[in-house]
Amino acid sequence: MATIDVTRRLQTRIILQDIESYEGFRIVKDYTARRPEASAETLQANLSTMQAKQQKETELAAMAKAAADEARQAEWEFHNSVMAMKESVRGLFGPDSHEAQSVGYKKKSERKRPRRRTAA
């Protein structure tokens, strides 16, 4: 017999088939469960629990997406304000200043000038 991997999610198709089977089971009369996990009460409780957990998962996924969007927006706002600050520093103190270098720019005097290549 094959080993069942319970760490992976069930396919949606299988869950829908299970729900369909349960709905068909509800019209069966005179059913007596031989195993406690197969009783009508346990089936109903497990269905309710599954649906509640799925709804909670969906809500948390939506909240995670919203939080990711808010974080992305905050990152862009911070980046844009840093870029504006760097341009202000360069504008106030000049492109060859120590202040421009301290905020991340390379001094204009430290740049290498392009050299012409001679044809060999």
Confidence class for position 110, pLDDT limits 50, 70, 90: confident
pLDDT score at 48: 96
Burial string for 40-53 (b: 16+ CB within 10 Å, else e) reads: eeebeeeeeeeeee
pLDDT score at 114: 80
Residue 2 has pLDDT above 80, yes or no: no
Residue 11 has pLDDT above 80, yes or no: yes
Q: What is the mean pLDDT of residues 15-29?
A: 92
- SS3 labels along the chain: CCCCCCCCCCCHHHHHHHHHHHHHHCCCCCCCCCCHHHCHHHHHHHHHHHHHHHHHHHHHHHHHHHHHHHHHHHHHHHHHHHHHHHHHHHHHHCCCCHHHHHCCCCCHHHCCCCCCCCCC
What value does the mean pLDDT of the chain take?
Answer: 91
Q: What percent of the chain has pLDDT over 70?
A: 98
Each residue's pLDDT tens digit, 32-56: 889 999 999 999 999 999 999 999 9
pLDDT score at 1: 62
